Amino acid sequence: MKAISPCLWFDGVAEEAAEFYTSVFPESEITSVMRYGPNTPGPEGEVMLVQFVLRGQEFGALNGGPQFPHTEAVSFVVPCETADEVDSYWERLVDGGEPGPCGWLKDRFGVSWQIVPVQLQEWMADPDPEKAQRITQAVLTTHGKLDVRALQKAYEDG
């Protein structure tokens, strides 16, 4: 059975977005570009759908028009092994976009991302309620990029 893959709706910038995302993430590539043909809803010859892979996950990018802009109701979580990885992904994806709360950002295309350390879920689910509460509060009071070192200190030391 094939995996479920998201398809992102864009207004004329699907190929540009796919090129950007595949430049940000290693082990990523554009796998196909389909164009509108005659008697289709888009201008003949324009990019209709771009299929691409980010870190092993298949995506589609459809040039469907302005009807459905992106919202924070859907976001992509990027689990990062190191603080440097958090910093790198954050800086590249937020360029031309805007920071949000709790490690979220909107990129230049309006797509929402959560750039988080891999330990975050474990920390927030710690059986020690004081540790879990400290880390949860530290995340909830952050606007912009998560400071992994500060989060680890809050988790360990309080």
pLDDT band at 12 (very low <50, low <70, confident <90, very high): very high
**Predicted pLDDT of residue 139:** 95
- The model's pTM is 0.92
| 86 contacts 80 by C-beta, under 8 angstroms | yes
Closest CA to 6 of 101, 120, 121, 112: 112
**Predicted pLDDT of residue 158:** 65
Domains contained in the chain, CATH given: 7-63 (3.30.720.100), 75-156 (3.10.180.10)
Closest CA to 10 of 70, 59, 97, 74: 70
**Predicted pLDDT of residue 37:** 95
**Predicted pLDDT of residue 41:** 87
20: tokens are 């950007």
Dihedral pair phi/psi, residue 142, rounded to 5°: -90, 130
Rounded distance, CA 95 to CA 82, Å? 20
